[in-house]
Every structure is written in structure tokens, then in C-alpha cells.
């Protein structure tokens, strides 16, 4: 499976393949299985349907590695519009937003960190006015310290801002200890980027062990853990640890991606767990889709068949 990961990620950079994927009927079905649409309206409609099913939502306007201030401004405007739309539908109690700092200017040379902080403040202010919150997504390891620095600055005025940590990084257990304080919201995921050996665990068993260690820190701490996993064993372990640490339902939550294990999402919600679905949308869906395929190579055969059998 790991041998397929890099070729799939390389496809993510192909505009020709993107055009082919988006226009072929079967592949279009794959796209909408992971991304509900490109517009704010499509994202809000998908969110409303999930909330009707007893689930909560975090929305990600797709885009990253922005090197243009106008594009960064456009992304901020999209989030402000989204938050207004959520408010008009009465969804802020159940829907928040997730933001990648590279999408709002962090990668722009010289001014990136300052610009990303200013833009993140604008989004956080719009979220607070709408009655909801923001979570800062984590990206590759080279941006971890800078992202956490922005988080610290944001939390001075917006202490409800959520953080994300990735269990496959060697540093993450230490980061969890620093973040597991009262009022802190922390999403723990395994990690979706290709990282070198010296900073990240490479074997699944080592990543899983790190994930459990981090779970213990977060569930044993004073913050609000957001347990992002589709792994049935990790879900079971997390529920067991929550009980061990005296965590009542609602003092933590499970998170899963849109279109992945929807029956499990509803099952957990049905037994009283808080479950939040990560809903990505926007025109820059192609790289996101390819990362999901890289994580789940069992989908690749269906994907490739659809490319060669439909015109």
C-alpha cells in the first residue's frame, strides 16, 4: 500500500488529470463522495443534512500553499461568507470552520507569518460574531512551530481557537502536554503528509502507539480533545480511555472525514457521542481528493477503472 502513496500524490499536481477526473461521470461520483461541492451553498446544504442526522461539522475551504496576497484575501472572504451563511441557517452551534494558514498567506515570503495571523484574526472575529469557532489545521512538519506560534497569538484574543496535532510526528506527545490545558481544544489525527524518517514514525504500528500515547495525555488533561480517526481500534481505545479518565460524553468528541465511514459516524452519535464531520469544499478539491486516495489505496482500482472506461 505504501508503494502507491507517492505516485498518487504526484498525480495531485496534474491539471490534466484533474480536468479528466472532474468531467468523467464515474469519477465525478468519487469526487462528490469526498467533497460535497465547490460553492458555499453546497457546503452549507451538506452541513445542514449532517446536522439533521445528529452530527456536528467543521468546514474547510480548500486551498493551500498560497503565494499571492489576492488569493489569500479571497480565501478569507470565502470564510467570512461561509460563516455568514451558516449564521443565516442557524447552524453555528453545530458547525465551525477549519483553516490552513498556508491558504491565507503563511507561505508568502517575508510577510507570510504576519499576514496569516492578521487573516486568521479576521476569520476568528467573523466566527465569534456568528457564534462559532475556528480550528487551525496543521500541515507538513516544516510549518508546525510557526502554526503553533500563530495559535498562541490568536488565543490571546480568541482563546476558543482549536489546534491540530499529528501523531506520526515524533514531537507530538510533547506538544500534547503543552496544549492539554483548560479551555484548549485539540484535534489529534494521525497525519496525512509525506514526512522524513527523522521527524516522523514510518510504520503504522509506531504511529498507532504514538496516537494512543497522545490520547492518554489529552484525555487525562484539562482541555477538550477532538479525536480524529476512522480506525475502529482507535475509536474503541479512545472510548475506553475516556471512561478510565472519567470523561463524560460531551467533554470530548470524535471527528471523521466527510464520506468516510458515515454509518459509524451515525452509530457513535446514536449512542450519545459527539461526532464532528470534516467537510471540505471549494474549487481546489483535487489535491485533497488525491491525498484521500493516497491514504486509502483500496479506492485506487475503482478510481483508475473509471478513468479508462468512461469518456
Give the pLDDT confidence of 140-193 residue by residue, as tens digits. Answer: 999 999 999 999 999 999 999 999 999 999 999 999 999 999 999 999 999 988
User: CA–CA separation, 96 vs 83, rounded Å?
Assistant: 8
| DSSP-derived secondary structure for 110-167 | TTHHHHHHHHHHHHHHHHHHHT--EEE---SGGGHHHHHHHHHHHHHH-TT-EEEEET
Query: What is the mean predicted confidence (pLDDT) over 236-248?
Result: 98
More confident residue, 302 or 46: 46
The closest of 168, 161, 102, 153 to 128, measured between CA atoms, is: 161
Collapsing DSSP states into helix, strand and coil, what is residue 77? helix
Q: 61-70, 113-122, 223-232, 243-252: which range is least confident on average?
A: 61-70
Residues involved in catalysis:
137, 187
Q: 14-23, 87-96, 279-288: which range is least confident on average?
A: 14-23
More confident residue, 34 or 11: 34
Cell digits for 96? 465551525
The answer to whether 50 and 277 have CB atoms below 8 angstroms apart is yes
The answer to whether 186 and 224 have CB atoms below 8 angstroms apart is yes
The answer to whether 98 and 132 have CB atoms below 8 angstroms apart is no
User: CA–CA separation, 148 vs 165, rounded Å?
Assistant: 10
Q: 24-38, 113-127, 220-234, 241-255: which range is least confident on average?
A: 24-38
Collapsing DSSP states into helix, strand and coil, what is residue 254? strand
Amino acid at each position: 500500500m505504501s508503494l502507491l502513496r507517492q505516485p498518487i500524490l504526484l498525480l495531485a499536481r496534474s491539471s490534466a488529470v484533474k480536468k479528466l477526473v472532474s468531467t468523467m461521470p464515474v469519477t465525478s461520483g468519487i469526487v462528490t463522495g469526498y467533497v460535497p461541492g465547490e460553492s458555499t451553498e453546497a457546503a452549507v446544504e451538506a452541513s445542514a443534512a449532517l446536522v439533521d442526522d445528529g452530527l456536528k461539522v467543521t468546514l474547510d475551504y480548500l486551498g493551500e500553499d498560497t503565494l499571492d496576497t489576492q488569493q489569500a484575501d479571497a480565501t478569507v472572504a470565502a470564510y467570512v461568507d461561509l460563516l455568514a451563511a451558516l449564521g443565516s441557517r442557524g447552524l453555528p452551534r453545530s458547525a465551525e470552520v477549519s483553516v490552513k494558514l498556508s491558504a491565507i498567506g503563511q507561505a508568502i515570503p517575508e510577510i507570510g507569518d504576519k499576514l496569516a495571523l492578521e487573516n486568521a484574526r479576521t476569520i476568528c472575529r467573523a466566527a465569534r460574531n456568528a457564534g462559532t469557532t475556528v480550528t487551525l489545521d496543521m500541515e507538513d512538519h516544516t510549518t508546525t512551530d510557526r502554526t503553533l506560534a500563530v495559535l498562541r497569538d490568536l488565543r490571546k484574543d480568541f482563546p476558543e481557537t482549536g489546534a491540530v496535532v499529528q501523531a506520526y510526528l515524533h514531537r507530538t506527545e510533547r506538544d500534547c502536554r503543552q496544549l492539554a490545558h483548560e479551555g484548549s481544544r485539540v484535534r489529534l489525527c494521525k497525519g496525512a503528509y509525506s514526512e522524513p524518517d527523522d521527524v516522523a514514525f514510518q510504520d503504522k504500528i509506531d504511529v498507532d502507539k504514538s496516537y494512543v500515547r497522545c490520547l492518554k495525555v489529552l484525555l487525562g488533561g484539562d482541555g477538550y480533545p477532538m479525536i480524529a480517526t476512522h480506525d475502529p481500534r482507535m475509536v474503541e481505545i479512545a472510548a475506553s480511555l475516556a471512561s478510565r479518565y472519567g470523561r463524560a460524553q460531551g467533554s470530548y468528541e470524535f471527528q471523521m472525514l466527510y464520506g468516510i465511514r458515515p454509518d459509524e459516524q451515525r452509530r457513535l452519535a446514536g449512542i450519545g457521542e459527539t461526532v464532528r464531520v470534516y467537510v471540505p469544499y471549494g474549487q481546489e478539491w483535487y489535491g485533497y481528493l488525491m491525498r484521500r486516495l493516497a491514504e486509502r489505496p483500496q479506492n485506487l482500482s475503482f478510481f483508475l477503472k473509471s478513468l479508462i472506461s468512461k469518456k
